[in-house]
Each structure stands twice: as C-alpha cells, then as structure tokens.
Amino acid sequence: MLILLDQDNVLADFKSGFRRHWRGRFGEDAPIEGKEHIFYIRDRLPEHLRPHAAELYGAVGFFESLPSMPGAVEAAHALLAAGHDVRICTAPVNQYRYCAGEKIAWVEQHLGAGWTRRVIIAKDKTWVRGDILIDDKPTIEGSLPPLWQHRLYDAPHNRHLNVPRIVWTQPETWADLLDN
C-alpha cells in the first residue's frame, strides 16, 4: 500500500514550533487561543498581526527547527517496516524560499537520510498518487479527484467532524494500517 503522510501537524509539530518562534520574536504568547477550530494558524491571529505569521514561517530556520509530533517518527518507521511504501507528501507555504529545503532537512534529521528520497513537495496533493493520505486538513481540495483515501489526523481544527481519526500515540487508531 502507498501511504502518504502530511508533514505539518502530522509528523512535524507546526503549532508548537509557531508558538516557540512567536515568543522568541515578540516576547509573548501568540494570541491564538480560543480559535483552535480554524485550520490556518495565521487566520487565528487578529488581522493586523497576520503578516507577522508569514514572516515567522517564511524565515530561515523555522521548518527545520520544528519538533516532531509525539509518536510520529516511530509510527512512520512502523508503517515502512510493515511493508508499505511510505511517502511524505507536504505542501510548501507561500513564503517558500526556505520552506522546501528545510522540510527535507527536517525529514533527514528526524527520520534519517534515506527518507529524504521519500519526500514529495506538492502545492496540490490531488496530483499525487497514493492509496491513503494521512492529513490534518479537514478537506483536501485540488484540481483533480484524488486517487487516495483521506484519513484524518487528529487536530483541534478538525474535531468538529464526526469521523475516525488517527493519533500516533494511540496505536489502535492506525493499527489497521500495519496489516499489509
């Protein structure tokens, strides 16, 4: 089975990295609390602060420094060990100058050099072949009907949906994927 793993908020903890960078830059917590139902973190900010979000994740070092999601590295290795073709399918942000290279560097740092050959960077994930895409985004839209089944990775911004979801630290939520 060809399993596609989203990177941000599935493998790499974008939200906690954003909070850490915001505190480092502005000396206070990002004002995003109470708006967890909104997918894009910049849209959780007051309008006048949104350009600062783009500055943060468009800056050198942002993506490479993200921590891994709890259990994500072990889960990715377990899926590969189960005989699946596992790929990382990630979309770059619009401030892409450092994003793509740093996403690959993150993969090497957290998963190993061999995994860098498994990275697919695509703005439109519907163009990517696969059997399953594990992604935290509630709806994946693009220019083609997807060939993959979307499996939702649990996040506050998608909890309004009444569907099964995957959590790496809860193996029972993805144990069926270990059966090849």
Segment 25-49, tens digit of pLDDT = 989 888 877 777 877 878 888 899 8
**Range scoring the smallest mean pLDDT among 39-48, 87-96, 105-114:** 39-48
Q: What is the pLDDT of residue 180?
A: 61
Domains of the chain (ranges plus CATH)?
2-13+68-178 (3.40.50.1000), 14-57 (no CATH)
Instruction: Tell me the one-letter amino acid at 100.
Output: A
Amino acid 63: pLDDT: 95
What one-character DSSP code corresponds to residue 175? Answer: G
pLDDT at 44: 86
Work out whether strand 85-90 and strand 119-121 pair parallel, antiparallel, or are unpaired: parallel
Q: Evaluate if residue 110 carries a pLDDT over 90.
A: yes
> What's the pLDDT band for 76 if we cut at 50, 70, 90?
very high
Q: Give pLDDT, residue 79.
A: 97
Question: Per residue in 122-180, pLDDT tens?
Answer: 999 999 999 999 999 999 999 999 999 999 999 999 999 999 999 999 999 999 998 76
∠ CA 118-82-8 to the nearest 5 degrees?
Answer: 40
pLDDT digits (tens, 9 = 90+) for 46-66: 899 889 998 998 899 999 999
* Distance in angstroms (rounded) separating the CA atoms of residues 16 and 13: 6
Q: What is the pLDDT of residue 132?
A: 97
Query: What pTM was estimated for this model as a whole?
Result: 0.93
- Tell the residue number behind the tokens 């942000």, with chain if given: 93
Active centre residues (catalytic): 6, 8
pLDDT (0 to 100) of residue 94: 80
Element at 151 (helix H, strand E): strand 149-153
pLDDT-derived band of residue 89, with 50, 70 and 90 as boundaries? very high
